[in-house]
Structure 1
């Protein structure tokens, strides 16, 4: 009987703790993304927590603050100075963290001294915030305590805040000093944790530092360059990988990220055969195509000739994305003599895929003489694909706005697609 009652009581406390955690997470989110009044409201709720109340309330509040974006601490610090906050209750980390926001410098200094003796990411974040304090003794105590911490979770919490304070004059060279510490062997575990942190700026900071000290193998670099969710991390690892092994450029050409593919094309040897440049020349990203063309220009080969040959060789089995890239590339480097080549892709007797027609219309709009634009592209204003029609009216607006027949203008105004009507309205 007693065991059953204790079990039921435990389940009740667990549900109450979960409810408190959700409530504080919601309040922290509102304060972080809202206005000053939301930050003031959160600060009042934190200060209203009794020191001897339900422990799960204070634990939930501290956990929500630790999990929130680091900008929230900066907002609470400003709110405390703005409202003249009374001193917080409690000798735990939450109470000390709140007292470190106090307008009175002596209260902040005492809170920093106490936080220096406490562990955990919340204490480290509070010390990092006070390392930019406007009172020198507070700033010195916080900086000294911060530089003595090496636990991975504490280092990550401190770096998240320090990166947001990097533009402040009072922080001095603290971030540089912290960076130097992380390069030392006792901090390598913290550096590895920082390189996979969920906070974007902290993760990029840690990854760049890990690459600098040589903590990544080629396999890890390749995997990160191909699959990481952060573009800056992908490009950092791609560049480092190619510095170590230029032969990996072929693997990086298969990346989903256009910036990585661009880096890979630039890393190819200057004497790379033109056949290996066909895929980059027809890439779906304009920057990748431009880099591949630069490779050919650099050795005196006109890329337009490659585009013409590849379009002439295209057949029914040619992927639409590849053919669309060829058409777009030819439009970027060709001349008026290439218009017939592109118009073959717009033959209504053998309609090409919509992506190919869109690219071909865009290229014709760039290359065709102004006097011929309407006769070449006018019939395509009725195309079933709205993207093709939008490209037609965009080309007319850019280069032939004065000579558009009224029936084509009317056709653009009655198309059901808003994007096409907006393009036609520019005429």
Structure 2
């Protein structure tokens, strides 16, 4: 079954997999607003008070997959449930009353740890420690930052003992939540404990923790391995070549190149200098410079990455190569490369900018895009020449043209951004929206409402985020009983915004839609005659 707000089935009618699916679905909806989160908490309270350990375990497994959802539940349940006078919260009272072995449900313990009464939270922490359970560890980690000292001290002592006694079981369960709350007040204790446990954990445990979990978790594991020098240079090279996360990849590349410089292993540096990742190439070229291979590094003047080109120009100066002359020859030659065109824009003065104008119609899209970027870097963009590229067949050219024209968007034809926003291609709609990004609030609100229902998921997500930002900014600028800031619009524009707001309601979610409706309703809006 799939549970939906307002349709709460008896917990006994649910199976474990169905409940996991219901919690996962409710958790996704909980991001939309407080009411969805309240429905999720009530569902969990029903299961916890029912005493079915299997269902409680299924719900905990579903929660464990989303530490952020656990944090939101902990933050909101006190306000929405424990202190509520609604009779629908009766399961919560039964849950607290039954917080004693052997009848206690693990899910009941987890929910009780979010109670507003510190004594109840302390009882929940004691229950967690009496019968340790990896599924409850995320809730225990939260209590290590509790504002009540007694609760905090018990949770901290318990977490430290669990990690010391059985890191293989409890470290993978504690690490995601510990890293998530590290920046919170009193949240650093848990992060320090998992770091200490990771340093002393057996290699098998470190491999398990490093192979799963969030990017932050993998970063910490690799950092510890590098700091402790537990990885061989071949392992570091392999990690630098295969890793997708830029921080992990750069960390491995730096360690590998440092070792290669110390041991003068040029083949490794040259191998990494040919890597497809710009950050790895840059690190390897610095290693080659340290070993005196300046001439070799200077051959990378036309690299596609700006940092690599900058390193190559520094090397070229040391060996007496004129980088500007090299770039002028490349740009005016029969076969310019994108890297050479970009390097030209980074090196010459504005007086040389006309050399790029002829490349705006080059048959290769990458050259056209590089020419537009070069003109922008030289502050030599001519609107009449770049504006036709807003409808270029290449998305990269459209993106560069949009970036170049945004500072002068007010000088463009007024209908152009809206025409682009209604275009069939994703990159055209994105360009139109970006060109409207510096317009007054009513214009930006209309554009964001149009984008919120876009058929492209990325554009729709951006539109929803911008509508949310505009609405919340407006609501924060007022005090409790004062009207929301006025929207200076005509009657026709006001009617148009109302239609767009109604159409976007399913995409925006209940909370944002309510705020938007209040903003657009009646007195808060200054309506001018058309």
Shorter-normalised TM-score: what interval?
0.7 to 0.9
Counterpart secondary structure, 1:183? helix
* Equivalent residue number for residue 272 of structure 1: 293
**How far is the alpha carbon of 1:169 from its aligned partner?**
3.4
Are positions 1:231 and 2:261 aligned together?
no
Structure 2 matches for 1:38-53, cutoff 5 A? 38-49=36-47
* Pairs within 5 Å for 1:232-381: 232-246=247-261, 247=266, 248-269=268-289, 271-279=292-300, 281-297=301-317, 301-308=321-328, 315=335, 323-335=337-349, 342=356, 351-363=362-374
Partners of 2:324 and 2:228 lie apart in 1 by 44
Aligned match of 2:153 in 140, 143, 155?
140
- 1:202 & 1:328 partners in 2: Cα distance? 37
Question: Runs of 5+ in structure 2 lacking a partner?
Answer: 1-11, 83-91, 439-530
Partners of 1:255 and 1:163 in 2: how far apart?
31
CA distance in 2, matches of 1:204, 1:422: 35
1:46 offset after TM fit, Å?
0.9
* 2:72 aligned residue: 75
Secondary structure, aligned partner of 1:195: helix
Give the structure 1 partner of residue 445 of structure 2.
none
- Distance in 2 between the 1:109 and 1:334 partners? 68
* Preserved CA contact (<8 Å) 2:140 2:159: yes
Post-superposition offset of 1:61: 0.7
- 3-state DSSP of counterpart to 2:186: helix
What is residue 20 of structure 1 aligned with on the other side? 19
Any unmatched runs of 5+ in structure 1? 1-12, 316-321, 403-407
Partner of 1:213: 228
3-state secondary structure, aligned to 2:280: helix
- The 8 Å contact of residues 120 and 153 in structure 1, kept in 2 or not, is answered as no
The aligned counterpart of 1:91 is: 104
Q: What is the rounded CA distance, in whole Å, between the counterparts of 1:53 and 1:288 in structure 2?
A: 62
- State the alpha-carbon separation in 1 of the partners of residues 77 and 386 from structure 2: 65
Tell me if 1:36 matches 2:47. Answer: no
> Any conservation in 2 of the 1:96–1:111 contact (CA below 8 Å)?
yes
User: Is the 2:295–2:315 contact (alpha carbons within 8 Å) kept by the matching residues of 1?
Assistant: no
TM-score by length of 2: 0.62
User: 1:380·1:389 contact (CA, 8 Å) conserved in 2?
Assistant: no
* Stretch moving more, 287-296 or 223-232: 287-296
Residue 345 of structure 1, CA deviation: 5.2
- C-alpha distance in structure 2 between counterparts of 1:55 and 1:260, whole Å: 50
Write the distance in 1 (CA, Å) between the matches of 2:350 and 2:205. Answer: 59
Residue deviations 1:356-393, cap 9 Å, x none? Answer: 233235435655989xx699x58987996566688679
Verify the 8 A CA contact 1:195 1:210 in the aligned structure 2.
Answer: no
**Is the contact made by 1:24 and 1:60 (CA closer than 8 Å) also made in structure 2?**
no
Give the corresponding residue for 1:183.
Answer: 199
Q: For 1:393-416, what per-residue CA distance to the aligned partner results, in whole angstroms no more than 9, with x for missing partners?
A: 9768979x99xxxxx989x99998
Alpha-carbon spacing, 1:358–1:66, altered in 2? closer, same or farther (3 Å): closer
CA contact (8 A) 1:28 1:64 kept: no
| Segment drifting more, 306-315 vs 142-151 | 306-315
Larger radius of gyration: 1
Q: Call closer, same or farther: CA 1:175–1:323 in 2, change over 3 Å.
A: same
- Would the alpha carbon gap of residues 391 and 38 (structure 1) be closer, same or farther in structure 2, given more than 3 Å must change? closer
Q: Is structure 2 residue 219 aligned with structure 1 residue 170?
A: no
Whole-angstrom distance in 2 between the partners of 1:120 and 1:353: 60
Pairwise CA RMSD: 4.1
Deviations 1:197-247 (A, max 9, x none): 321222222221222112322233222222223222112212222222244
**1:116 match:** 129
* Superposed CA offset, 1:287-332 (max 9, x none): 33223323334565432233345557765xxxxxx81111111121
- Bigger mean CA offset, 297-306 vs 325-334: 297-306
1:131 Cα deviation after fit: 0.7
Q: Deviation of residue 354 (structure 1)? A: 2.2
Q: Would you say the 8 A contact 2:239–2:249 is kept in 1? A: yes
Asked if 1 retains the 8 angstrom alpha-carbon contact of 2:199 and 2:224, the reply is yes
Q: In the alignment, is the contact (CA less than 8 A) between 2:294 and 2:315 conserved in 1? A: no
**How far apart in 1 are the matches of 2:49 and 2:404?**
69
**Matched residues in 2 for 1:43 and 1:117: separation?**
25
Contact 1:307–1:329 (8 Å) recurs in 2:
yes
> Closer, same or farther in 2 for the Cα pair 1:273/1:40, shift >3 Å?
same
Q: Name the CA shift for 1:297/1:30 in 2 (closer, same or farther; >3 Å).
A: farther
1:106 correspondence with 2:119? yes
